[in-house]
Amino acid sequence: MFKKILIANRGEIALRVIRACRELGISTVAVYSEADRYSLAVKYADEAVCIGPPPSKESYLNIPRILAAAEVTGADAIHPGYGFLAENTNFAEICATSGITFIGPSPAAINAMGDKALAKETMRKAGVPVVPGSDGVISEVKLAKKIAEDIGYPVIIKATAGGGGRGMRIVREAGDLETAFRTASAEAESAFGNPAVYIEKYLEEPRHVEIQVMGDQFGTVLHFGERDCSVQRRHQKLVEESPSPAVTTKIREAMGNAAIKGSKSVKYVGAGTIEFLLDKNKNFYFMEMNTRIQVEHPVTEEVLGVDLVKTQIEVAAGKRLDKAKPIPEGHAIECRINVEDPNHDFRPSPGKITAFHFPGGHGVRVDTHAYDGYEIPPYYDSLIAKLIVHSSTREEAVEKMYHALDEFVIEGVKTTIPFHRKLMKNDRFRSGKFDTKFIETFDFKD
Ligand code: MV4
């Protein structure tokens, strides 16, 4: 097992990793920017090293400084959390050549899944269902036109370097294809330095359902069921739950097996997520693979009773996965509490927390780095807490969430708590029959 892990992250996930390390008897190193000097990660870790000024580029994305911190403290592994360097092939490679274990999959697996067209090709070859479209990237508008005629409109043009909704164009008729192709490609070039795009059939109103996978160094890959993340706004997830109200035992098994096949084809090690689009006819298609622990991992942990962060550290250290599949129990929901104003287009609302009280009780979990008097820096993302509830049925979980949200007090900044309270009372949400377009039509303003 590792002796010392450096956490190359901040916020709630840094605390989550520190806690897992403590339980495993591993000492911890927090790295922090000047804006995070008074963070709980700095307080809770055994050691802390300042790695630079507030902007991410100069601190949490600064590879030489993070590696220097690992070297001076003698850390033998780095946990990247999510975001920042978690899916950076170059970083994973440099860790390896520096003799430090990167807690995650191989650089080759990160790279293959980071290029979206390559990821799709890799999955298709492994026998995972993919959306009909081009084989890989296309450089000619003429070819794009031909493919669109073949598969039929509407189609969607996606940047291969994109992901998470950036660099996409929906095209509903042939006359709009050329402009969309050129603007998508130009946008991809300026955003990612890579103009390559691919094209596929556009599915109307799909659900976003993802499978949690875990692989060890001996070729075993397990799936830990699905999470439904259809409640999103501008590609930002707001609520996640498990199981999905739309997934039957049969679909779960098929999706889980597809996810395992796809993961094995890239010799996947560690925690990963395969995202699928689930259409109205309950056909599912590979969308993207995330090669990291995700924000929403706790809903899976609550339903299965497993600690995914401890498990990912253990497999990185060479432990074998226990092949006995954990049995899912009940229903879990996570609400992301962001410091944003839902009444003003979810604009960020950083500042000082003047009162902080969080809910508790049976089946209530709060993952947060906030505290009374905490000054939220404006430089990073606005997630301040994750409220997770677990109950025996979805109905009970929704009810528990409503009351837990009611108990949550955060003063001094605007948060998404009022949005979530309205959502828990919404008939469409309560029915479980919603898709990724639902939030666009949901009236949540005061
Ligand atoms: C799609 C799609 C419909 N058809 N692809 C959005 C994020 C990026 N990862 C891919 N996305 C989509 N790809 C096809 N062929 C619809 C979306 C999409 C979406 C997907 C999941 C969750 C929310 C979404 C919101 C808008 C569009």
Give the integer Cα–Cα distance in Å for 230 and 437. Answer: 8
How far the first Cα of the chain sits from its last, in Å, is 52
Domain with CATH 3.30.470.20 in the chain: 207-441
Q: Which of 201, 277, 289, 290 to mutate to test the pocket of ligand 1 (most atoms within 8 A of CB)?
A: 277
Span from the CA of 203 to the centroid of ligand 1 (angstroms): 8
* Ligand 1 lined by 360 (C-beta under 6 Å): no
Residue 165 pLDDT = 77
Q: Looking at the annotation, which residues are catalytic?
A: 292
Span from the CA of 100 to the centroid of ligand 1 (angstroms): 36
Residue 446 pLDDT = 84
Residue 325 pLDDT = 87
Domain with CATH 3.40.50.20 in the chain: 4-103
Residue 335 pLDDT = 99
Q: Which residues of the chain have pLDDT under 70?
A: none
Classified as helix, coil or strand, 201 is strand
**Beta strands 77-79; 101-102: pairing state:** parallel
Query: Sheet containing 197-201: which strands, arranged edge to edge?
Result: 166-171, 155-163, 197-201
Cβ-based neighbours of 176, under 8 Å, separated by 6 or more: none
Domain with CATH 3.30.1490.20 in the chain: 132-201
CATH fold of 207-441: D-amino Acid Aminotransferase; Chain A, domain 1 (3.30.470)
CATH fold of 132-201: Dna Ligase; domain 1 (3.30.1490)
Residue 166 pLDDT = 79
Ligand 1, atom 12: closest residue by C-alpha: 165
This prediction's pTM:
0.98
What CATH class is the domain 4-103? alpha beta
Within 10 A of 345 (CB to CB), how many other CB atoms are there? 9
Ligand 1 atom nearest the C-alpha of 230 is 22
Cβ 70 vs Cβ 51: under 8 Å: no
Cβ-based neighbours of 154, under 8 Å, separated by 6 or more: 170, 171, 172, 201, 202, 204
Q: Can you give the three-state secondary structure of 3-32, one letter per residue?
A: CEEEECCCHHHHHHHHHHHHHCCCEEEEEE
* Ligand 1 lined by 165 (C-beta under 6 Å): yes
Residue 360 pLDDT = 98
Ligand 1, atom 19: closest residue by C-alpha: 436
